[in-house]
Amino acid sequence: MARNYPLTPAASRRPVAFIRPLRPLLLTAAGVAGLAALSASGVRGQDLFAAQPLEDTRFAVLGRPIGSEDWGLLVLEQVAAAPRCWTARPDGLVDPSLNRFNFTGICSRYIDSNGYSLRIGEQDLASSYRLRLVQVGEELRLQASSVSHPTDLLVGRGRVPLRDRDGFVQLTLEPGWSLQRRTYQGRSLSHVYFANGETLPALLARLQPPPEPVATAGAGRGSTLLSRLGSVGANRDARGASFGDVADRGAVAIPGRPVPLQVIPFRD
């Protein structure tokens, strides 16, 4: 059995052999930390990252079943022509065939927020919007939600013919949405956007219900008067007399109804 002994003072002064192999990893981490620091310092996502379009036929947007009712979002990319990274099944689900071979250099997977995010207009919304899958009946919906706005954005949807732990649901993006590659200073990154060319205010405005019609003050008084008259029934008061009879007897105030005024003809 191997034993672990404490380092002697002389050994603790010789860490060079252990540090050199880690230098590339530290540099990579430093680069990632630098990008994060730029974002935190106030540089906006649309200024930090750019995007380039992708060929949709090389990608599959899939819903992966998790447990008995949850779903996880998965994006697969066909990098090489063969073998196929996914295959359609006769029952309407998708077989992730990349699990049966070494897909290095053949397929790429984007499995969480490190691999995909939302981009609307020229704005990177990775820090404010998250993508999630919600099943409604037999439909699986890809939605983008934010804690700062109550309205969810519908990004894509697909049909769930049955639930099979080995079968994934194919999702189709809604009109106006597409996949794009995130770039930084002209270099492509291993990150895809669910992108829409409209601005965020325009998208949200289209999802708002139309405002209720507001009646004018005059129309409100007229409708109130008509409703009161209609409740009388054939222009009669609660005691069975018509408004003409009431006028002949003089002005009588009836609670909740207009006061009829007697008309006196003018004589010279």
Of 172, 140, 125, the closest CA to residue 70 belongs to: 140
Domain that holds residue 187: 44-207
State residue 237's pLDDT score: 45
Q: Which pLDDT value is given to residue 176?
A: 96
Q: Is 236 within a domain?
A: no
Q: Which amino acid is at 245?
A: D
pLDDT of residue 98: 97
DSSP H helices in the chain: 9-12, 16-19, 23-40, 45-48, 200-207, 217-232, 243-249
pLDDT of residue 218: 52
Give strand pairing partners of 77.
59, 108
Neighbours of 82 (CB within 10 A): 7
Domain for residue 67, yes or no?
yes
Task: Provide the 10 A C-beta neighbour count for residue 39.
Answer: 17
Whether residue 265 has a cis bond before it, omega within 30° of 0 = no
If one counts the domains in the chain, the total is 1
In a domain, 186, yes or no: yes
Residue 159 lies in a domain: yes
Q: CA 91, CA 44: separation in Å to the nearest integer?
A: 45
Token readout for 188 is 């492509």
User: Would 222 be classed as within a structural domain?
Assistant: no
Residue 7 exposure: Cα atoms within 13 Å on the Cβ side = 7
The DSSP letter of residue 250 is -
CB atoms within 10 A of CB 150: 7
Examine residue 267 and state whether it is found in any structural domain, yes or no: no
Residue 82 lies inside a defined structural domain of this protein: yes
Structure confidence by residue, pLDDT tens digits, 130-178: 999 999 999 999 999 999 889 999 999 999 999 999 999 999 999 999 9
* Tens digits of pLDDT across the chain (268 residues): 444 444 444 444 444 333 333 333 333 344 444 444 444 433 454 569 999 999 999 999 999 999 999 999 999 999 999 999 999 999 999 999 999 999 999 999 999 999 999 999 999 999 999 999 999 999 999 999 999 889 999 999 999 999 999 999 999 999 999 999 999 999 999 999 999 999 999 999 988 766 667 655 555 554 454 455 454 444 444 444 444 444 444 445 555 666 566 666 656 5
Q: Give pTM, 2 decimals.
A: 0.65
